[in-house]
Amino acid sequence: MHAGERNFECDICGSKFFTRSTMSKHRRDVHIELQKFKCRFCSFRTKYKFEWKKHENRKHPEEHFLHHSKPFKCLICDKGFSKKSEKRDHEAMHAGQRNFECDICGSKFFRRNTMTKHRWEVHIELQKFKCRFCSFRTKYKFEWKRHENRKHRKELQGLLDS
């Protein structure tokens, strides 16, 4: 190396610097948006999720554990939750409150994911017979045929004629 030469190159943009510290400062200040994974406990940043997880697990094991704990406790059974909203939904179950209603049949559920699963399994997935002319669906072949024959007689005739 020769004095006065820019021997330290930024591996992101190729800019060259006289000192390693100047190049590091450049990377930190200019390319920080590329480093979207930021440690929750110190100033470490990286653009790689695996490096961020490894850093937190190794450098901050106690803080990492506490952060992943479940601080929101049910007042009735003491079950822990990581989110306040999860605790609220759980406590509603103890109170018998079914706050999630299926918009198709009106059935009510304690949890949103149970209602979503019901909606998919009962109202969508099982309705494999789909009308070729409108949005009608059913799980029964006879209902599908009856629907098309009654509601889409002209369209069916057009298919036969072509």
> Domain coordinates of the chain in residue numbers?
8-60, 72-124, 129-161
Most confident stretch, 19-33, 122-136, 141-155: 141-155
Residues in the chain, total: 162
Second-level CATH architecture of 72-124: 2-Layer Sandwich (3.30)
CB-CB contact of 122 with 139 (8 Å): no
With a cut of 90, say whether residue 147 has pLDDT above it.
Answer: yes
What is the per-residue pLDDT for 148? 92
Which residues, listed in sequence order, are joined to residue 130 by a DSSP beta bridge? 137
What is the per-residue pLDDT for 146? 94
The answer to whether the 8-60 and 72-124 domains have the same CATH topology is yes
Which residues, listed in sequence order, are joined to residue 45 by a DSSP beta bridge? 38
With a cut of 70, say whether residue 138 has pLDDT above it.
Answer: yes
| For range 84-113, the mean pLDDT | 87
What is the per-residue pLDDT for 67? 59
Q: Which residue has the tokens 């559920």?
A: 109
With a cut of 60, say whether residue 1 has pLDDT above it.
Answer: no
Kindly report, residue by residue over 31-89, the tens digit of the pLDDT: 766 667 888 888 788 878 888 888 888 888 777 666 566 778 888 888 888 788 888 88
CA-to-CA distance for 99 and 75, rounded, in angstroms?
Answer: 19
- 3.40.190, 1.10.1740, 3.40.50, 3.30.160: CATH of 8-60: 3.30.160
What is the per-residue pLDDT for 121? 79
pTM here is 0.35
With a cut of 60, say whether residue 16 has pLDDT above it.
Answer: yes
Q: Percent of the chain at pLDDT above 90?
A: 11
Which residues, listed in sequence order, are joined to residue 46 by a DSSP beta bridge? 37
